[in-house]
Amino acid sequence: MDTQHQPLTLTPTSSCACGEHDGEGFPELDVRLIPHAIRHATIFGALDSLAVGAGLVIIANHNPLPLLAQVQQRYREGAFEVSYLTEGPEEWKVQFRREA
């Protein structure tokens, strides 16, 4: 076998090498910092990565109703529990928790 192209083996103890760890609660994603052209795709990527029981809080500068409508269309009913943590007028925080 070519030693330069050996398969990568991950074990249950494999982790990111950056040394950072998530704190208590759900991670926050400040979507105001993401370019508009890729904002929803970035959020969907984050939501897709969540295991059952895990969650994510997004921070936006407006009520994310268009995003919430897309979430309803994209995922089956009951996939996420969605709740507002902060409702404007300058900042909205919406929590998503993977249910199934």
Which residue positions in the chain have pLDDT lower than 50?
14
The class that CATH gives domain 26-98 is: alpha beta
* Contacts by 61-70, CB closer than 8 A, 24 or more apart: 61/32, 61/90, 61/91, 61/92, 62/88, 62/92, 63/87, 63/88, 63/92, 64/31, 64/92, 64/94, 67/40, 67/43, 68/94, 70/40, 70/44
